[in-house]
Structure 1
Amino acid sequence: MKKHGWFLFGIILAVSMLLAACSGGEETGGESTQSDGDDSSSSNEQVLRLTEGAEIPSMDSSLTIDAIAAQWLGATKDGLYRLGKDGKTEPGIAKDHNVSDDGLVWTFKLREDAKWSNGEPVTAHDFVFAWQRAINPDIGSEYGPYMMNGVIKNAEAVSKGEKELDALGVKAVDDYTFEVTLEKPTPYFESMTAFGTFLPMNEKFVKEQGEQYAMEADALLANGPFIMTEWDHGEGWTVEKNKDYWDADKVKLDKIKVNVVKDTASAVNLYQTDEVDVANLSSEFVDEYRSSEEFRVEEEPTIFFLKMNQENEILSNVHARKAIQMVVDRQSMVDVILNNGSIPAGGNVPANFVQHPETNEDFREINGALVESNVEKAQEHWKKAKEELGIKNAELRYLGGDTEVAKNLDAYIKDQLEQLEGLTIQVESVPFKVRLERDSNMDYDIENYGWGPDYIDPNTFLNLWVTDGGNNKTGYSSEKYDTLIKKAATDLAQKPVERFETFLEAEKLLIQEDAVIAPLYQRARAQLWKPYVKNVTSNPMGPDYNYKYAYIEEE
């Protein structure tokens, strides 16, 4: 998640879905990213008014896999650490930590002044319960096993039901000392603790709520900067300042009001009539507002691509998948259809995200563009695929979003794909929550999908595709690919140069040789935002934005 892990983890276009926490979500939310001050002297009402393009499916941090939930979990909860300025971790419930010499045991000292919104203290037991719950096979979390397996000691065995929950490498040494034992040294583990899956839970409250937990505002507890006070499903929600928050003096906003608005024209109209403070712009609005002082473009480390379900007979053929990779004109897509600063994606790892540990070269620059747009070559691959499959024509289902801009982009991609002789694309436009369910069940042939980072490392993108990975959902399985990813995570964990170069090799195998996905674009956000919105910062992973220090400046 997200994105992100848009990912959320998404925002600028209501085009497609960023799953995770990804860091992921549907590309339709809206927030400001200005950060040119630290304090507010405003006498104005401290209310920020935003839009999102879809409903929150759930606020259960064990179960959420989308960027919208990740955003509002990040606003209402503190984990051990949270993301602050420039995407750096800053103290949350943990005041500090120490790591054993072998890199395996992390001991977190928790603050004693953190409370839940029901008045109970936040303790190490809340982390033990939440982390065990996320890995409990009876709960069915996708992200628990995905984030913890191979990282937290015994996580994989616990997630498979081979060991009891108390075998997971987490322990409350006392009420305010939380100890974590890892399977292997994990340099980016501190940033992982800021991710939604690792947020604490009050065991008594969760069990009292039962199946209703995290499905309504009154079935939630907060320990973060804000508390969700209203949740009108399908319409929007409101969070208000948590006056009992341990760091409440730093929180300037009294309230954030969010409306669900699925089409860009409506969002822009609300912005122009001063009913919301931020609006996302789709391509037809970008040129109109590009010269405005309130116009902003921001690049994200979020990649969108076509997932191809290899359980489909046609898509099990590598030449069919390569044809789909090559037939889409990515440059025209970003220039004309998106028109928001997004750039064509050259692979699975975004540009300006991670650098070679020795040369400081960008990952994307080193590997370059691993896909090309070439209709002639695409037709050659498609012809070979049809010969191998013994077919003349084919029909594939394309899973897309139900927002206005999503439909526009999906229509463009449909036209591009149908350049392949004899191919018919059946677009199925469904709501965000339905897409999450259908992706989980692999109920699609082709899906417009996105991913934002869950932590700052190539692994957050490349370990998606290991055999039976929780977010794979393509049917792809490669012993060679699995070996590369495992090697990077184990033998090379403390050899940064060799580890990085192994990831470069894995990406080439994924994209060039096996054609598992068809990269489309790296997202940017084009937005309008009111100049009085200050100190909202964007995150490279987890929640898209940090509102903890935001304020409304006096006009």
Structure 2
Amino acid sequence: MKFSKSFLLASVVSTALLSTSAFAAGVHPETGEKLADDQTFTYRILDEHSSFDPQVNEDVSGSEISRNLFEGLYSQDNLGNLVPGVALSHTVSDDRKTYTFKLRDDAKWSDGKPVTAGDFVFAWRRLSSPELASPYQWYAELMSVENADAIVKGEMKPEELGIKALDDHTLEVRLTKPLPYFAAMTTHSSTFPSPSWAIEAHGEAWTKPENIVSNGAYKLVKHVPQETAIMERNTHYWDNASTIIDKVETLVINDENIALTRYLAGETDRTEIPAGQFPRLSKEYPDQAVVFPRLCSYYYTFNLSDSGPEEFKDVRVRKALAYAIDRRVITEGVMQGGQFPAYTFTPAVTAGFEVPNVDFAGWSQKERDAKAKELLAAAGYTKDNPLEFDMVYNTSEGHKKIAIAMSQMWKQKLGVKVNMSNMEWKTFLNERGNQNFELARGAWCGDYNEASTFLDLMDSESGYNDGKFANAEVDQLLSDAKSMTAPQANYTRIEEIMATEMPIIPIYHYTNVYMMNAQLKNWPIKNAEQNWYAKNLYKVAK
């Protein structure tokens, strides 16, 4: 995504001009559709999110909630293009290293206080601060914000971060190097503003419904851990008059089949379709079963740290396990939701990315199986000395089915014995993040639409490099790519190194496979990042 020196977004927004009289008449002001009387959007999530705090959250479901509770500098439209959030526009210096954002003067917090540039300064300093120890602390480094590296390492104070409020409605950000996609990175929830007064008054308890202050289209009114979170419209939101959905409810339902049953009973408006059931449901409910590509990768990661098993230090073992996986059996036999077999980490749907032709992707599965047997035997693992290891995934029927399929392939083709176990989400994140595993499920959804959002996980210093893969050439290629206008050659080389070293096993690239209430309209199915905002949705009458 390229930007001119002055990137003006204010003219893009038309929703603020919507007629409130049209709402009163019960019709959509642009489409003329008759609106449902009840404008509540209820959707299912698999696990309790990690946090309501935008600088602490580290999962997809939490980010969805953050985008409804908070608003950053920029948001996205239904195609994934940038549109104004708190920022109306920005300018870039001639050396492309200083961004100056002009903020709207009508943005307010849910307690009525104005949203200022200082709220972003406070939030970004929190993000980089060792004191908070955010799981997304590394994102400040990734954005190349001046001094972020030293602050994260504890060598400089957060106050020295390259961000400054020139006045209440002008924010300056200084980068260490030009970053062509920097503005797009500000749609990520970790960059959203935070209310210093609420945090100082309540500490970690500031995100409780009775304490939280947010600046997005909604405010949190109820939270029952492991059950539900309920948000209602923030009447102080600058575009509240154009919002149609009044209430957003999340329901934590760990079992996909129970979630489907509750959806069919009318309890939710959206739920994921269980593995293998899309063909049937698309025939029975053609107006509700939907599928579309998603900017996400499903993979397994080897623990290559000192705490990892000695067996996985041998690249021949890692390659053998990766080659023996028949990805089409998983996508077409287990998942059956249009997922794409993956031989690289970065999905083809990534903007500006050309998937490289890594060697094993072009082989037949028979050829991959033969090579897997050869490599494992060369590594010393035979029928008399079988390879055995532990494999962990977070609790989900779909993850379990995939793990079983993989373990059976390894057993039948290679004589490998796998000990499978599952963990509750937060426990799983903690154990994987602390390298308390041998082989662990992984999934990554892009924080922004550029290949580095995936490949940066392979940087030896990345906070989400859970397997602790380290390669000096990869680190250098990633660093150089950040200031390139055409980094494809670097990305191709990184994927080639990954195919050679096999620090992870790519399994498939995602699609979203949903049951969606036919009354729910304007879902951004063409936005590969799936950054959706409830304020843009609406429900029509039956």
User: With structure 2 as the length reference, what TM-score do the two structures score?
Assistant: 0.89
Matches within 5 A, 1:418-429: 418-419=411-412, 421-429=414-422
> What is the aligned partner in structure 2 of residue 350 from structure 1?
347
Identity %: 26
Greater Cα shift, 159-168 or 218-227? 218-227
Secondary structure, in 3 states, of the residue corresponding to 1:450?
A: strand
* Root mean square deviation, CA, Å: 2.2
- Is the CA contact 1:134–1:144 (under 8 Å) kept in the aligned structure 2? yes
Work out whether 1:235 is the aligned partner of 2:245: no
Pairwise CA distance, 1:222: 1.4
Matches within 5 A, 1:126-525: 126-149=119-142, 151-214=144-207, 216-291=208-283, 292-293=285-286, 294-311=288-305, 312=308, 313-355=310-352, 363-364=354-355, 370=361, 373=365, 374-386=368-380, 392-419=385-412, 421-489=414-482, 493-494=483-484, 496-497=485-486, 499-511=487-499, 513-525=500-512
> What is the aligned partner in structure 1 of residue 519 from structure 2?
532
1:117-147 alpha-carbon deviations (Å, 9 max, x no partner): 1221111111011100110112111312234
- Is the CA contact 1:73–1:196 (under 8 Å) kept in the aligned structure 2? yes
Pairwise CA distance, 1:265: 2.1
Counterparts of 1:354 and 1:229, CA distance in 2: 37
Counterparts of 1:433 and 1:457, CA distance in 2: 28
Secondary structure, in 3 states, of the residue corresponding to 2:190?
A: helix
Counterparts of 1:72 and 1:543, CA distance in 2: 13
Matches within 5 A, 1:36-55: 41-55=34-48
Q: Which is higher, the Rg of structure 1 or of structure 2?
A: 2
Query: Cα gap change, 1:40/1:165 in structure 2, threshold over 3 Å: closer, same or farther?
Result: farther
> What is the aligned partner in structure 2 of residue 548 from structure 1?
535
1:39-83 alpha-carbon deviations (Å, 9 max, x no partner): 764151111121111111211222221101111001111001111
- Is the CA contact 1:65–1:143 (under 8 Å) kept in the aligned structure 2? yes
- Is the CA contact 1:347–1:369 (under 8 Å) kept in the aligned structure 2? no
- Is the CA contact 2:143–2:182 (under 8 Å) kept in the aligned structure 1? no
Secondary structure, in 3 states, of the residue corresponding to 1:332?
A: helix
Query: Cα gap change, 1:344/1:147 in structure 2, threshold over 3 Å: closer, same or farther?
Result: farther
Greater Cα shift, 417-426 or 87-96? 417-426
> What is the aligned partner in structure 1 of residue 22 from structure 2?
none
Counterparts of 1:461 and 1:371, CA distance in 2: 22
- Is the CA contact 1:109–1:176 (under 8 Å) kept in the aligned structure 2? yes
- Is the CA contact 2:120–2:192 (under 8 Å) kept in the aligned structure 1? yes
Counterparts of 1:192 and 1:546, CA distance in 2: 17
Query: Cα gap change, 1:110/1:235 in structure 2, threshold over 3 Å: closer, same or farther?
Result: same
Matches within 5 A, 1:49-128: 49-128=42-121
Amino acid in the other structure paired with 1:268: L
- Is the CA contact 1:535–1:551 (under 8 Å) kept in the aligned structure 2? yes
How many residues end up aligned between the 2 structures?
506
Counterparts of 1:398 and 1:522, CA distance in 2: 21
Pairwise CA distance, 1:150: 6.3
Counterparts of 1:115 and 1:94, CA distance in 2: 13
1:254-299 alpha-carbon deviations (Å, 9 max, x no partner): 1112211122222222222222222321234223212232221111
Query: Cα gap change, 1:365/1:440 in structure 2, threshold over 3 Å: closer, same or farther?
Result: closer
Pairwise CA distance, 1:432: 1.2
Amino acid in the other structure paired with 2:334: I
Counterparts of 1:150 and 1:68, CA distance in 2: 23
Counterparts of 1:147 and 1:204, CA distance in 2: 23
- Is the CA contact 2:271–2:514 (under 8 Å) kept in the aligned structure 1? yes
Amino acid in the other structure paired with 1:242: N
Counterparts of 1:507 and 1:227, CA distance in 2: 42
Amino acid in the other structure paired with 2:282: R
Structure 1 portions without partners, runs of 5+: 1-34, 356-361
- Is the CA contact 1:309–1:474 (under 8 Å) kept in the aligned structure 2? yes
- Is the CA contact 1:398–1:446 (under 8 Å) kept in the aligned structure 2? yes
Query: Cα gap change, 1:458/1:546 in structure 2, threshold over 3 Å: closer, same or farther?
Result: same
Amino acid in the other structure paired with 1:52: I
Amino acid in the other structure paired with 2:304: Q
Counterparts of 1:39 and 1:70, CA distance in 2: 32
Counterparts of 2:357 and 2:388, CA distance in 1: 37
Pairwise CA distance, 1:370: 4.3
Pairwise CA distance, 1:181: 0.3
Secondary structure, in 3 states, of the residue corresponding to 2:44?
A: strand
Greater Cα shift, 183-192 or 371-380? 371-380
Query: Cα gap change, 1:259/1:150 in structure 2, threshold over 3 Å: closer, same or farther?
Result: closer
1:352-396 alpha-carbon deviations (Å, 9 max, x no partner): 2233xxxxxx51266686475422211111112236x9x923332
Counterparts of 2:241 and 2:358, CA distance in 1: 46
Counterparts of 2:530 and 2:294, CA distance in 1: 13
Counterparts of 1:473 and 1:131, CA distance in 2: 24
Pairwise CA distance, 1:423: 2.6
Counterparts of 1:77 and 1:301, CA distance in 2: 22
Amino acid in the other structure paired with 2:512: R
Counterparts of 1:467 and 1:295, CA distance in 2: 41
Query: Cα gap change, 1:369/1:380 in structure 2, threshold over 3 Å: closer, same or farther?
Result: closer
Secondary structure, in 3 states, of the residue corresponding to 1:249?
A: helix
4+ aligned runs moved over 6 Å, structure 1: none
1:177-232 alpha-carbon deviations (Å, 9 max, x no partner): 11000111111011101101100001111121213233x32342211111111111
- Is the CA contact 2:102–2:169 (under 8 Å) kept in the aligned structure 1? yes
Counterparts of 2:256 and 2:29, CA distance in 1: 27
Counterparts of 1:375 and 1:222, CA distance in 2: 53
Counterparts of 2:216 and 2:177, CA distance in 1: 30
Counterparts of 1:419 and 1:37, CA distance in 2: 58
Counterparts of 1:52 and 1:150, CA distance in 2: 29
